[in-house]
Chain A
Amino acid sequence: MIRIAGLRKSYGSTLIVDDVSLTLPAGGITAIIGPNGAGKSTLLGMISRLLPMDAGTVTVDGLDVTRTPSDVLAKRLAVLRQDNHIAARLTVRDLVAFGRYPHAKGRPTIADENKINEAIAFLDLGALEHRFLDELSGGQRQRAFVAMVLAQDTDYVLLDEPLNNLDLKHAARMMQLLRRAARELGKTIVIVLHDINFASVYADHIVCMQAGRVAHQGQPETIITPEVLSLVYQLPVRVELIDGQRISIYYQEDRTP
């Protein structure tokens, strides 16, 4: 379980995350949604100790993320941010193998090799494993990053917009795969999503942020409603039930003359 209490962060005089207190349940997929600048990525960064916080605490299974040694935390929690600029020229397999670093410390055992193979197969990267990252498309690279984070084999996996750069097929596959990881391997997945329909269909729990605060949270049925979404995104949103899935529709003609 991730417990967040009184979390605050500002850049200069701009408050990005404003006194957020939140409990994210263990197990399942929690999606964080909200408009641009709502503080989603900053929140994820602070939960995963990548960003320092101005005030507040975050504990993961009782471990305070700012006080727990980083290498201990690396076996419990894995995080992938968006916009990863990589200077080292690595093959896909090398990158995924680095996911085992917290466990293997550079001396991978057979068990580590197995985890690496599993992660590569899980993300369908077998044919690309010896290619260099700079020779791949954005989507293929994104899958390699996610494979690395899965190879880390932590209870908690935090992903910041992992569907960026992915085409429809791979985006849907990625979400199915994350759901499988949550269901079959018992992982807790926290994911910042832009596409609210993916959140609606795949998440077990949704946190909706607005202007640095948690505006709403709960099960998808309570969040994916015209009232909540229209207010949060400041745009008329319709929600239709299609094949039992709550799908938001917000594409509209520009009616201004």
Chain B
Amino acid sequence: MSPSLKLGLGLLAVLALSAVSLFIGVSDVSLASLLSSADEDRPMQVLLISRVPRTVALILAGSGLAVCGLIMQMLARNRFVEPSTAGTVESASLGLLVVTLLAPGWPLFAKMLVAAVFALAGTALFMRLLAAVPLRSPYMVPLVGIMLGGVIGSLTNFVAYRYDLLQTLGAWTMGDFSGILRGRYELLWLSAGLTIAAWFAADQFTLAGLGEAFTTNLGLNYRRVLSLGLCIVAMATAVIVVTAGAIPFLGLIVPNLVSALMGDNMRRSIPWIALMGAGLVLASDIVGRLIRFPYEIPIGTVFGVAGSLVFLWLLLGRRRHFD
């Protein structure tokens, strides 16, 4: 099978999942009800206001987080780094909390930018820590990131507790797409733009994964590549945290699976990572909506269970690949 044919099949699979996602829910939306003119177009409204936005949001957030994970893994040169193991998500949440407290009237876009600045600062701090502390084991790197995230997270928690915002905070860090409606997800298109930007710069990130010496030797400015990557990751993470909430470990599992199958030449692997990210998120969300129908389980929970199993399998089965 040619690579483009395989990619086409992957795309079809994601489209099929999207179709399923459109037609699942308490309110009856089916092709038949959409075509019949009864109910004063209620099915069509549900579709346009709730189902389509939710499905699009799932696709954009899933592909964005997965690609972010890969970029971070190349930049940190460690397979276990992703936005939720490097303090990025926690920093974005802190930024969002700060701006919510200090400037509650700002538009969502401005709040997102503040969250992005915090995310960038937090991730840059993580990279500095990595550079300053020579770590012998690849397993130490995510531990440092998770500790940093823990410190920032507890600060955020404390502030949120003092101002009675703990519930809001939970919504940012634990992805949940049940609240996505038209008018409340459009910012996510920015994450699609960032994913495409990452694809254009794919060669540079792959080179960064070869290390500073290789990058410099081939005529690229390593710091510039690093900054570009961190900015993309910080922006995309902030957008996702602000709209739907982050999905822990997605950015870790998808790039590792794709890497095991086809390597890390990012020009080739980014389309696959975006597709698989979108597909996994859609599938997890569908499962979360069906398992206790008509109630929902947040996607973060579903993905946390499924994802940690896949992660364990990756960790135990492909150990050589990480060392």
Contact = CB atoms under 8 A, between A and B. Distances in A.
B209 interface: yes
Interface of A: 48-50, 69-75, 78-81, 84-91, 94-95, 98-99, 101-102, 106, 132, 134, 149, 152
A74 B219 CA distance: 5
A87 B263 contact: no
Nearest to A97: B265
Contacts of B203: 98, 101, 106
A72 B219 contact: yes
Given A94-B263, A98-B207, A87 B77 contact: yes
A89 B321 CA distance: 9
12 contacts: A48-B217, A70-B219, A71-B219, A71-B220, A78-B217, A84-B214, A90-B265, A94-B265, A98-B207, A101-B219, A101-B220, A134-B320
Among the interface residues A69, A73, A99, A106, which one has the most CB atoms of the partner chain B within 10 A? A106
B267 A132 contact: no
Contacts of B206: 88, 90, 98
Nearest to B262: A89
Contacts of A86: 209-211
Interface in B242-281: 259, 263-267
Contacts of A149: 217
Contacts of A99: 218
A159 to B, nearest CB: 11
Given A87-B77, A89-B259, A90-B264, A101 B209 contact: no
A79 B267 CA distance: 24
B79 A87 contact: yes
A256 B145 CA distance: 53
A88 B213 contact: no
Contacts of B211: 84-87
Interface in B201-251: 203, 206-207, 209-214, 216-221
